[in-house]
Amino acid sequence: MAETSLTHRSAADLADLLRRGETSSVEVTQAHLDRTAEVDPAVHAYLHVNAEEALATAADVDARRAAGEDLHELAGVPIAVKDVVVTKGQVTTAGSKILEGWIPPYDATLVRHLRASGMPILGKTNLDEFAMGSSTEHSAYGPTRNPWDLERIPGGSGGGSAAAVAAHLAPLAIGTDTGGSIRQPAAVTGTVGVKPTYGGVSRYGLIALASSLDQAGPVSRTVLDSALLHEVIGVHDPLDSTSLTDPAGGLVDAARAGDLAGMRIGVVRELGGEGYQPGVRASFDHAVDLLRGAGADVVEVSCPSFDYALAAYYLILPAEASSNLAKFDGMRFGLRVEPEEGPVTAETVMAATRGAGFGDEVKRRIILGTHALSAGYYDAYYGSAQKVRTLIQRDFAAAFELADVLVSPTAPTTAFRFGEKVDDPLAMYLNDVATIPANLAGVPGLSLPSGLSDDGLPVGFQVLAPAREDARLYRVGGVLERLLTDERGGPILDRAPDLEVKA
C-alpha cells in the first residue's frame, strides 16, 4: 500500500519523491502519524505526538514548494526529537516527573535548524530520565519496547528515538549521546546513530546531563540519512561557547563515496574479548572481514587507558550532572511539592520536590556526583577522572597514528530483557564500556548494524574517527552498509517482526 511504503522509505528517498512532486509532505507526515497511532501503543517510542503542528509545517512546505521556492534537501521530511531537547510551545519533560507538562519558552538551536529546513516535527521521544541510563527503563513515563522483541529493551538513554526509527514511525530522529545514548540504542535496534565530534552540534537547548560529554546527533535507518541530517544540525552556534567554528563538512559526499581508498582500520584490543557475547563478536569479526575484502588495511591497536574509561565516566558525569540538575527545585518551573511534615520553607520545598520528582537512577548519580565534588574528595575523584581523560586522549592520538578509523562492537551484548539489569547499576553501566571512550575524548563515533546475532537480535558495529574527521565515519559506514546489505539481500530491518495491529 502506498501509505505503508512511505513509512518504509529512507529519508533520502522521501526527499527525492518530494522533490519530484510524487508525494507531498502532508501525505508523508500523515502516513507516519497514522502508523504511530497504530503501532506506538505497543512500542511507546513517543512521549508526545504533535500532529497539528507537524501537519501545519508540512502544509506550509508543500505550499512553498508549489510556489517554486528553493527548499532545503530534507524539506518536508518529518523527524522525531528526543524529549531532552527543548521545543518552544511543546511539552518537554526529559523523561522526568519533575518536568511533567513543562512548556519551554524557547527552541534549541538545532530545533531552529530543523524548522528552518522545513522538517515537520512529529513529536518527542522517550528516554531514560535526564538521559541517565542504557535501557530507557528509567523513564518516569514507562519504558519503550524494542521493535525486534517487545519484551526487550531498546537501549538507552535514547531508546525512544531509535525505536521510532526502527519501527518506521519516523524516517529520522534526533538523539543525544553522553556515553553512548545514540550509538548503543542504534546497535540493539538495528539502526544507525552518530555522535558528532564534541562541539560539532550546538548544545544550546539540550537539557544538560554532563556538559563536557553531551552531543546531539542523527538517528536513522541508513548511513546516508544520518549524513544528511548531520549536515542540517552540524553548524557553529554563537550561543554555545563550546561550539566548533569549523564543524565537519563533506559528510554526505563521504557517505556516497563508495570506496575505502586504502583506509587503515584499527581494531581496538580493549573493546572486545571478555564480557562481549560470542554472537556479537562473530558479527563484528565478519564485518571486519568484509572491510578487509573491500581494500581496507586492518591493524590491531591497543588503548590501555580504555580500561579506566568507565570509572572516569561515572565520576565526571555524576559530578557535572549534580550541578546541572540543581536548577530543578520547584521555584521557577516544573513540579513543586511541599513536605508533608515540618516547616514549609524554600529549602524544604526544594528537597521535597526533588525527592518526589527525581527517579532512583537520577538520585544515585546526583548523590555520587555531589560526594565526588565535596571538599576533601575532589582530587581523588573528579580531579583524578579528568587525568584519566588526558590518558584516553593520548591513547586515541597514538592509535590514530596507526589507523584512520578505529572499530569495535558498539555494545557487549544484544538487547537484554526488561528487568534483567535494572536493579544492578554496575551491570547496567557496563553496556556503555565501548562507547564511553569517545565521549571522554570528544572524538566522533557512528554505529551501524553489522547483522544479527545467534539470538536473532541486531548487533552494532562502531566506527570512531579523530576529532573533526566525522566524514571518515560516513565513508567507512557507507561502504560497510552496502556490503552488508548486498550480502543480506535487503535492509536489516526487513528481518524485524511485523508490528501492525491485525484487524
Partner 1 sequence: MSQPHDVTSPSVQDYEDAVRRYDPVLGIEVHVELGTASKMFDGAPQTFGAEPNTAVTPVSLGLPGALPVVNAAAVEYAIRIGLALNCEIAETCRFARKNYFYPDVPKNFQTSQYDEPIAFDGHLDVELEDGEIFRVEIERAHMEEDAGKNTHVGGSGRIHGAEYSLVDYNRAGIPLVEIVTKPIVGARERAPEVARAYVSALRDIFRSLGVSEARMERGNVRADVNVSLRDSADAAFGTRTETKNVNSFRSIERAVRHEISRQAGVLDAGGSITQETRHWHEDTGVTSPGRVKSDAEDYRYFPEPDLVPLAPSREWVEQIRAGLPELPSVRRRRLQAEWELSDAEMRDLVNAGATELVEATVAAGATPAAARKWWMGELARTAKSDGVALEDLPVRPEHIAELQSLVDDGRLNDKLARQALAGVLAGEGSPEEVVTARGLEIVSDDGALEAAVDEAIAANPDVVEKIRGGKVQAAGALVGAVMKATRGQADAGKVREIIFSRVEG
Partner 2 sequence: MSTISSDEVARVAALARIALNQDEIERLAGELDVIANAVARVGEVATPDVPATSHPLPLANVMRPDEVTETLDVHEVMASAPQAEDGMFAVPQILGEDA
Q: Among residues 46, 141, 148, 204, which is the contact residue for partner 1, using CB under 8 A?
A: 204
The DSSP element (H or E) to which 459 belongs, if any, is strand 458-464
CA atoms within 13 A on the CB side of 106: 7
Name the DSSP letter for residue 196. P
Residue ranges of E strands in 79-159? 79-82, 121-125
Within 27-86, the residues that bind partner 1 by CB under 8 A are: 85-86
Q: Which three cell numbers stand for residue 98?
A: 519533575
Write down the least CB distance from residue 375 to partner 1, Å: 5
Q: Are the beta carbons of 192 and 447 closer than 8 angstroms?
A: yes
181 labelled catalytic: yes
Choice between 225 and 329, CB closer to partner 1: 329
243 labelled catalytic: no
Write the interaction track for partner 2 spanning residues 92-131; mark x where CB under 8 A is met and - where it is not.
----------xx-xx-------------------------
Q: Alpha-carbon distance 196 to 180, whole Å?
A: 12
**381 in contact with partner 2 (CB under 8 A):** yes
Q: Alpha-carbon distance 308 to 19, whole Å?
A: 49
| Amino acid letter for position 156 | G
Q: Among residues 207, 227, 228, 388, which is the contact residue for partner 2, using CB under 8 A?
A: 388
Tell me whether strands 46-49 and 192-195 are parallel, antiparallel or unpaired.
Answer: unpaired
Within 316-345, the residues that bind partner 2 by CB under 8 A are: 322, 326, 329-336, 338-339, 343-345
Given the residues 134, 157, 450, 453, select the one marked as catalytic.
Answer: 157
Q: Alpha-carbon distance 462 to 410, whole Å?
A: 5
Q: Alpha-carbon distance 280 to 234, whole Å?
A: 31
**492 in contact with partner 1 (CB under 8 A):** no
Write down the least CB distance from residue 201 to partner 2, Å: 13
**317 in contact with partner 1 (CB under 8 A):** no
323 labelled catalytic: no
434 binds, among partner 2, partner 1, none (CB under 5 to 8 A by kind): none
Among the residue ranges 34-42, 227-235, 371-379, 471-479, the one whose residues contact partner 2 (CB under 8 A): 371-379
The residue behind cell 544479527 is: 452
Q: What are phi and psi of 458, to 5 degrees?
A: -65, 150
Choice between 65 and 138, CB closer to partner 2: 138
Within 242-301, the residues that bind partner 1 by CB under 8 A are: 242
**407 in contact with partner 1 (CB under 8 A):** no
Tell me whether strands 458-464 and 445-452 are parallel, antiparallel or unpaired.
Answer: antiparallel
Within 344-363, the residues that bind partner 1 by CB under 8 A are: 346-347, 350
CA atoms within 13 A on the CB side of 96: 27
**483 in contact with partner 2 (CB under 8 A):** no
Q: Among residues 18, 45, 206, 263, which is the contact residue for partner 1, using CB under 8 A?
A: 206
Q: Are the beta carbons of 432 and 201 closer than 8 angstroms?
A: no
Give 288's contacts (C-beta < 8 A, 6+ positions apart). Answer: 265, 267, 298, 407
Cα separation values, 361 from 58, 129, 133, 273, Å: 38, 8, 8, 29
113 binds, among partner 2, partner 1, none (CB under 5 to 8 A by kind): none
Tell me whether strands 264-268 and 405-409 are parallel, antiparallel or unpaired.
Answer: parallel
Write down the least CB distance from residue 436 to partner 2, Å: 12
How many residues does this entry show for the chain? 503
Q: Among residues 12, 280, 403, 441, which is the contact residue for partner 2, using CB under 8 A?
A: 441
Given the residues 24, 25, 96, 181, select the one marked as catalytic.
Answer: 181
Q: Alpha-carbon distance 499 to 42, whole Å?
A: 8
**371 in contact with partner 2 (CB under 8 A):** yes
**402 in contact with partner 2 (CB under 8 A):** no
Write down the least CB distance from residue 441 to partner 1, Å: 15
Within 141-180, the residues that bind partner 1 by CB under 8 A are: none
312 binds, among partner 1, partner 2, none (CB under 5 to 8 A by kind): partner 2
Given the residues 10, 24, 82, 243, select the one marked as catalytic.
Answer: 82
Burial letters 281-305, b for 16+ CB under 10 A, else e? bebbeebbebbeebebeeeebebeb
Among the residue ranges 40-48, 370-378, 427-435, 445-453, the one whose residues contact partner 1 (CB under 8 A): 370-378
Tell me whether strands 79-82 and 46-49 are parallel, antiparallel or unpaired.
Answer: unpaired
**200 in contact with partner 1 (CB under 8 A):** no
Write down the least CB distance from residue 387 to partner 2, Å: 4
Catalytic residues, which ones? Answer: 82, 157, 181
